[in-house]
Structure 1
Amino acid sequence: MTSKANKGTQLTTSLLRSLTIGLISAALVACATSPTGRKQLVLLPDSQLNEMGVASFTEMKADTPKSESSQATQKVQCVADHIISVLPDEYRKQAWEVVLFNDEQVNAFALPGYKIGVYTGLLEVADNQSQLAAVIGHEVGHVLARHGNERVSTQLATNQALSVGYQLAGADSATKSLIFQGLGLGAQFGIILPFSRTHESEADYIGLDLMAKAGFDPSESVTLWQNMAQKSGNSTTPEFLSTHPSPQTRIRDLQQAMPAPQKIYASLKANNKTAHCY
């Protein structure tokens, strides 16, 4: 006679198999490649993400006032313009909108639909034009790599696989509910969060390349994250529970990736072609 423990193990194995098959099937249907060559799951048309990005940006402009400092606004616009000038044609030729929001949070973002937002709080931490370029380049890197689409697609695929597995698992029971709660947590920590950290690291690499090509000193990206780490103090979330790599991991990875962008910047500097925003 099969024990309850064996039945639970068999049910878990069956559910995990259903989850895996669902995710693999989705990946085969909608496989794309990021600018760094990484395989991606992209289920939605870019036009839909662009519409969502425009709608979100419009809402942000309605909720958060713009900075009244024309000088700060011009600095941000100048840095963004330099980054945009080195994008691939399909992005460079778009009408990007750049807004400096009057908000003390230390942050910036770029959205599908060609929108860039910077908060005034970031200018208190980004000490110079190159550090600001590191942030804007990173955020634009998310757009170039279609990370928004990939995140939504991964969440959709994971939820769908769990839903299908739940329906196939038979009648509701306390054991079944506990198993699926565990699978949900496993998907969060095993799929969603690692993907988000991968996106952040990938955006760092793309941003490093963009800022160097745009004439900003890529080594300042390391100084920026040192500033960020100092400002955050001991309040950082453990990396395995965070959607972002730790500042220490970020700094190490940027330093390892530095030779190629530093060579690009050195060539521009030798020919007096570096950026001069402020």
Structure 2
Amino acid sequence: MYKKAIVFLFLGLIIYSCATVPLSGRKQLSIVSNAEVLPLAYDQYDQVLNESKVLTNSTKGQQVVTVGRKIADAVEKYLNDNGHPEITDGFAWEFNLLESDQVNAWCMPGGKVAFYTGILPICQDETGIAVVMGHEVAHAIANHARERMSQGMVANGLLGGIQAAMGENPTLTQTIFLQAIGFGGQVGMLKFSRDQELEADQLGLIFMAMAGYDSREAPAFWQRMNAQSEGARPPEFLSTHPGPERRIDQLNDQMEDALKYYQGN
């Protein structure tokens, strides 16, 4: 009876802790809050900047900032228009270009974005940057890192919030947090599930369109990214992403809806 009670208590907690991604309707596990996650993410972001060569004041760096601000404004408008302004409560948007050959970019919880110089040749121009920016920001808006941390805590029997987990097993909790936001063996590599990646694609199309960028350029970007990986180890940016054909097919299927938000037709 005792074991059954524990099982029912565990299942009840999981059900109670399920949230819905307001922008897609997908259910996600959420046993930690942004109020707990964001301060930790901001500290880690500052650490990355301190350990990197930051090129944000360069011409390319300012281009990244320009695109980022447009995407952030579009996100805020989209959330307000759809009755979910609370999603960005506590966000402190920041956009930086870091010198690295890595073909990658990422957005931490709270809107902390980093682009690596290695991805810029594939972006080619401001619209290409917007494809990546919209996608990465969508991960943060859909709370994908928070979802990953919740999953990691449940898998390890840590069923309270972060503070409770820190008291119970601080080392394990810290490890789960760093893995959830992409830290570990390689800094800044956010390895989301394929479902999360496809969700970020869908939202990213809308965000870039609202920011004034033609979403029809997104499939072309992913074709260039796929070509970059042929005959070699895929770039980190593609490490857990869906296959290129599936991704491009889905983008094209969603294009009509995204273009409703684009004013440049």
So what's the TM-score if we normalise by structure 2?
0.74
Deviation at 1:130, TM superposition (A): 1.5
Tell me the equivalent position of 2:175. none
Tell me the equivalent position of 2:15. 28
Structure 2: 5+ residue stretches without partners: 80-84, 159-190
Summarize deviations over 1:83-106 as a string: whole Å, max 9, x none: 011113443995411111011211
Deviation at 1:156, TM superposition (A): 1.7
Equivalent residues in 2 for 1:93-172, closer than 5 Å: 94-160=91-157
Q: Is the 8 A contact 1:200 1:245 kept in 2?
A: yes
2:27 pairs with 1:39: yes
Deviation at 1:256, TM superposition (A): 1.0
SS in structure 2 of the partner of residue 216 of structure 1: coil
CA change 1:93–1:157 in 2 (3 A) is closer
CA distance in 1, matches of 2:28, 2:240: 17
1:52 alignment partner, one of 30, 40, 64: 40
Equivalent residues in 2 for 1:215-226, closer than 5 Å: 215-226=212-223
Tell me the equivalent position of 2:61. 73
CA distance in 2, matches of 1:139, 1:226: 18
Equivalent residues in 2 for 1:237-252, closer than 5 Å: 243-252=240-249
CA distance in 1, matches of 2:65, 2:102: 19
CA change 1:142–1:37 in 2 (3 A) is same
Summarize deviations over 1:55-79 as a string: whole Å, max 9, x none: 2111111111112762111111111
Deviation at 1:249, TM superposition (A): 1.6
CA change 1:31–1:68 in 2 (3 A) is closer
SS in structure 1 of the partner of residue 250 of structure 2: helix
Q: Is the 8 A contact 2:215 2:258 kept in 1?
A: yes
Alignment size in residue pairs: 217
CA distance in 1, matches of 2:244, 2:9: 35
CA change 1:24–1:104 in 2 (3 A) is same
Deviation at 1:112, TM superposition (A): 1.2
Tell me the equivalent position of 1:256. 253
Tell me the equivalent position of 2:264. 269
SS in structure 2 of the partner of residue 205 of structure 1: helix
CA distance in 2, matches of 1:19, 1:256: 45
CA distance in 2, matches of 1:232, 1:154: 30
Structure 1: 5+ residue stretches without partners: 1-16, 162-193, 271-278
Greater Cα offset, 131-140 or 18-27: 18-27
CA distance in 2, matches of 1:211, 1:76: 13
Aligned partner letter, 1:227: R
**Bigger Rg, structure 1 or 2:** 1
Paired-residue identity, %: 33
**Going by fraction, where is helix more abundant, 1 or 2?**
1
